[in-house]
Structure 1
């Protein structure tokens, strides 16, 4: 019996040493990805590098995607067009850059006064968000997958203090997505500028202020050298989801295992980016304040004015675009129901911890 068992084990040994099953019989594929972000923005750009590396590792190197920063293949704000036309297979970008094509694309990144990060992830993956949005992206021959989240963003940099909504009137302000539509309602002149071009515009005075992401990236881009007033909260972006845009026909032509590899890698990259920002923004904000940046909360009167303007923008876009209305209704229903839970869970915990810290003088 023992001899027969040893022979059987020996016969089975070569199977254990065989190549991974995934690699057997699958083609070698090489793709390119263009990013909307320059290499200097190491978290946003390196998220696409991380995703590409994961795809290669999952497929034992048989499916490789090479990332390129903004400008090397196409300009950052032409990334979606490049994927739609099939001149590159993938892009890493944000739908809010492309609302001129369809206002509903704003929901793939963020819209003002709507979802926080936890709510975004729940809505995208379990609330039907991915399916609704890909119904829009399909018109552009694109399949979109969440691939990164910045977390709650800051409210923006200004050269002067903002005390009332009237102080916003006439300012030229770099802002992306529907927040620009909202600010236009209160007299701001919104400017959409690619990330790598923002600082020169601010330095030259072409713009008076800027909203980008948060302390870490904003400091890297040098906004604090020109504008000293830094406002919170990020009313326009409770969280900002970036996406991997994939040319739809090419995505559908992939082996199922490779499609799954992209989906898995993008989900991992979403967590990876958020953790990076949650780690790096803390120390970056401390450094900015120590260097003399004036951290300010938006006055309630300003927030209330922006909130009213947001409802006007939502009503106008809903009347003009049924897809926008469908996505808005979905997010509002989810948000309003979720906050009943949120106020007895995360919000209650955070409020408790802040109170205890104050008691301890921290």
Structure 2
């Protein structure tokens, strides 16, 4: 099992270190926009928001690096720095924006304070499931909107991994009614956190490496992270045995690869194509892997760890859904780009939902009897 507590001991860069590193990166990016080793080989730094080798997104980030090196026959190498090794988990966006790192691997909902609509590119409460989300990005105009959103930050983003449908989270007390949400301190970033806040809870956005300790010490009463595979590796089952479903707040788990735009543009065409195909290949592999490993880990949590799966009561789910629609309706008022992203997302949902309901939901209901 991965020991995710180790990276808590890693101190963030001092201001002097950050400036020195940023300056070195800037100098090497200036001519001609990428870091080169001997004989013209390209070397990049990749910073992540994940503990080292975390099952799920941490493994995904390393595989992208490995695939790029293999596909380029060693001409293009990317060195991965896990959360806290070079920069803090929630410093990834700024590091890539400034060019301190040429690449990042993270989740877009961490950047809601910088670009409110970023949350749409990870997950929306009661929104698109993984295959629908991928379809929106690739065929429904989502990628172009993502490009527009990050352009002011000198960043290009693409899908690069998916942890699938999420669980509802780990709770130290049962949720039997709406009253049980009042006063609840829960680690839940993104729009799901805002939904919880409106129902009386206190959402906090902790980096992954701090969740376990915060839950263990009572700093928070509940925490959601990903699905059974990653959650079990994080050790949450050692703190509480109560695991809720469904993950209304994250029906999708897209991870994003961030690229410093000048570095990306400076890549030779073949290396840029290799990088993009490596991310696309990992997006498909990670989703299928998460489905397999989540099923395996869910069984282990129940049979080996004594975890009890509970479901939000119908009254709670119904109110969460209604509140989520209120939050989304207010979202368009933030700015014109947020309004365009929301409109595009809703159009994709309206187009895809009838087919999903007919082809998938009814089939699953029939299969289960």
Give TM-score, length-normalised by structure 1. 0.89
1:341 is matched with: 355
Whether the 8 Å CA contact 1:33–1:88 is kept in 2: the answer is yes
Q: Deviations over 1:280-325 (max 9, x none)?
A: 1112111212232221111111111111211221122211222222
Unaligned runs of 5+ in 2: 1-38
* CA distance in 2 between partners of 1:218 and 1:283 (Å): 12
Q: Deviations over 1:208-249 (max 9, x none)?
A: 000110111111112122222211111111111111100011
Say whether residues 1:76 and 2:89 are aligned partners.
Answer: yes
Say whether residues 1:146 and 2:159 are aligned partners.
Answer: yes
Q: Deviations over 1:322-342 (max 9, x none)?
A: 222211111111112211111
Say whether residues 1:279 and 2:292 are aligned partners.
Answer: yes
1:127 is matched with: 140
Secondary structure of residue in 1 paired with 2:175: coil
2:57 is matched with: 44
Secondary structure of residue in 2 paired with 1:72: coil
Q: Deviations over 1:6-31 (max 9, x none)?
A: xxxxxxxxxxxxxxxxxxxx941100
1:314 is matched with: 328
2:23 is matched with: none
Whether the 8 Å CA contact 2:55–2:229 is kept in 1: the answer is no
Tell me how far 1:192 sits from its aligned partner.
Answer: 0.7
Tell me how far 1:40 sits from its aligned partner.
Answer: 4.6
273-282 or 29-38, which moves further after superposition? 273-282
Q: Deviations over 1:337-357 (max 9, x none)?
A: 2111112212232222111xx
Which of 265, 288, 294 is the equivalent residue of 2:278? 265
* CA distance in 1 between partners of 2:102 and 2:135 (Å): 28
1:5 is matched with: none
Secondary structure of residue in 2 paired with 1:327: helix
2:16 is matched with: none
1:59 is matched with: 72
1:33 is matched with: 46
* CA distance in 1 between partners of 2:137 and 2:156 (Å): 14
* CA distance in 1 between partners of 2:266 and 2:81 (Å): 23
Whether the 8 Å CA contact 2:55–2:233 is kept in 1: the answer is no
1:297 is matched with: 311
Whether the 8 Å CA contact 1:134–1:143 is kept in 2: the answer is yes
* CA distance in 2 between partners of 1:255 and 1:40 (Å): 30
Whether the 8 Å CA contact 2:111–2:118 is kept in 1: the answer is yes
* CA distance in 2 between partners of 1:234 and 1:333 (Å): 22
2:252 is matched with: 239
Secondary structure of residue in 1 paired with 2:332: helix
Whether the 8 Å CA contact 1:209–1:227 is kept in 2: the answer is no
Tell me how far 1:178 sits from its aligned partner.
Answer: 1.2
Unaligned runs of 5+ in 1: 1-25, 356-362
1:332 is matched with: 346
Whether the 8 Å CA contact 2:68–2:275 is kept in 1: the answer is yes
Whether the 8 Å CA contact 1:158–1:210 is kept in 2: the answer is yes
